Structure 1
Amino acid sequence: MQLIPIMINGLPGNVAKMIVSHVLRDSRFALVPFSLTGPEIQEAAVEVAGTSIQLVRPDVRAARIGDIKKQCPGLISVDYTHPTAVNGNCEFYCAHGLPFVMGTTGGDRDRLDPAVRASSICAVIAPNMAKQVVGFQAMLAHAADTFPGLFAGYTMTVRESHQKGKADTSGTARAVVHSFNRLGVHFSEDQIEMIRDPEVQKREWGIPEEHLGGHGWHTYTLTSPDRTVTFEFKHNINGRDIYADGTLDAVVFLHQKVARGEKGTVFSMIDVLTGGCS
């Protein structure tokens, strides 16, 4: 079986490191020994599980990407960088013919799809790569399509807790809010309560100390107008491993689409789940 070359961008970040460790253990992939990184990174390379990976800064990536593609033809890029880099990275991938999986949240999401559609590549773009969470989102989207206005009149609170270094509001929370909007709930994204203080997370939320540096806890509470009925939806993730399976399934899915000549198409994780790549 031909291995899929995969370049994990965002090293030396923790999520990127975790994805690399999974790639190294997965017989479907060949890790590309390069990673696009941020302008603030001074290291020339990083080692993960005994494998050295060269870090490519923004000021030299355009000059180096041609050689990287020659060394690793057919590579798929995986982006776990920073919200401020999302749109610039997307434009770079499109300009240089690099199909990609965008796991980074934030940025101007409305610019991503048009950029890919106007390019010669295809991509998987999703606010969450955890397959079970994506399934939960799909259930809510189906409910919104089938029962619009079901929760009209209900009030809602949304609280999401992530590690201190997460700069943006959870993309998953925003997607879930959109589904509840279609279900009749008046609630805006700026009402989402973001928790990033480790002391609050430990003391008030009960998040295990060993997972303060990497977790995603979400609670959505809906209350009826007369306050006699309450619905609560919750998903609590400790660690980051749950994101690896979905990310790598997305890479396989995208590789298959590229092999079939797909161009200018944006896929979601729903497409990945229904595409049978797990």
Structure 2
Amino acid sequence: MRVALYGRHGKVGSVLAAALEASGHEVVDARDVGPDGCDVAVDFTTPSAVDANVDACLAAGVPVVIGTTGFDADALDARAREAGVPCFHAANFAPGAVLMMRFAEEASRVLERAEIVELHHETKVDAPSGTSKATAARMHGDVPIHSVRLPGLVAHQEVILGGPGETLTIRHDTTSREAFAPGVLRALDAVGDLPPGLTVGLERLL
């Protein structure tokens, strides 16, 4: 496929470009050429940029895989439905992160209380992270989220659950942004067959 990649020179985009090309896709820098003539687009940019990028893709009839977090998902879903174009978003494309969220959801049915600590690199714009908010939304009860932004981190999350006389910690660590490539590749294969509008969650494709 010919893939328009928004954010090609960013922290995630530079890693994704190599992985997509290694998988046989042709990758173009969407910032330079736009989505016209592409089969699909991928956006790993910033919340302030994602709406304009997706709107350009909707106008061109190009499906979009979105890894950016912090945007208005409901508004984007409405625009994609109106345009008749499928879009896909995941707060985290690492398969291990999907398992972490699933385990946390199951554990919250048994243990009384939980809190989430999410840790990311110092340049991450949104806090709490999209992954932590998606995790909390799946869990039972009101789950507080604590955000840490420090140099040396990539993307990490702990879900700490407690009950009488015990605690359970579920942790996922992204040590390299290569962890996102398998999920993005899966989404690229699937997005064209999704219904118009925004489909959310990598677990929907696994």
Q: TM-score range by the shorter chain?
A: 0.7 to 0.9
Deviation of the 1:139 alpha carbon: 4.7
Could you say if the C-alpha distance between residues 192 and 266 of structure 1 is closer, same or farther in structure 2, counting changes exceeding 3 Å? same
The corresponding residue for 2:15 is 18
Q: Which amino acid aligns with 2:160?
A: T
Q: Tell me the TM-score normalized by structure 2.
A: 0.87
| Runs of 4+ displaced beyond 3 Å | 138-141, 148-151
1:85–1:107 contact (8 Å) kept in structure 2: no
Computing the radius of gyration from Cα coordinates, the structure with the larger value is 1
The answer for unaligned runs of 5 or more in structure 1 is 37-54, 57-64, 199-211, 274-278
Q: Which amino acid aligns with 2:138?
A: S
Match of 1:89 among 34, 39, 53: 53
SS in structure 2 of the partner of residue 87 of structure 1? helix
Say whether 1:186 aligns with 2:142.
yes
Say whether 1:35 aligns with 2:21.
no
Q: Which amino acid aligns with 1:239?
A: S
Q: What aligned pairs does 1:166-245 form with structure 2 within 5 A after superposition?
A: 166-168=124-126, 169-180=128-139, 183=140, 185-187=141-143, 191-198=144-151, 212=152, 215-224=154-163, 227-245=164-182
Q: Which amino acid aligns with 1:186?
A: D
Say whether 1:266 aligns with 2:205.
no
Between the two proteins, the alignment pairs up a number of residues equal to 204
Q: Tell me the TM-score normalized by structure 1.
A: 0.66
* Cα RMSD after superposing both structures: 2.3
Deviation of the 1:197 alpha carbon: 2.3
Deviation of the 1:159 alpha carbon: 1.1
Deviation of the 1:252 alpha carbon: 1.3
The answer for unaligned runs of 5 or more in structure 2 is none
SS in structure 1 of the partner of residue 83 of structure 2? coil
The corresponding residue for 2:41 is 77
Percent identity of equivalent pairs: 25
Could you say if the C-alpha distance between residues 263 and 159 of structure 1 is closer, same or farther in structure 2, counting changes exceeding 3 Å? closer
Could you say if the C-alpha distance between residues 119 and 139 of structure 1 is closer, same or farther in structure 2, counting changes exceeding 3 Å? farther
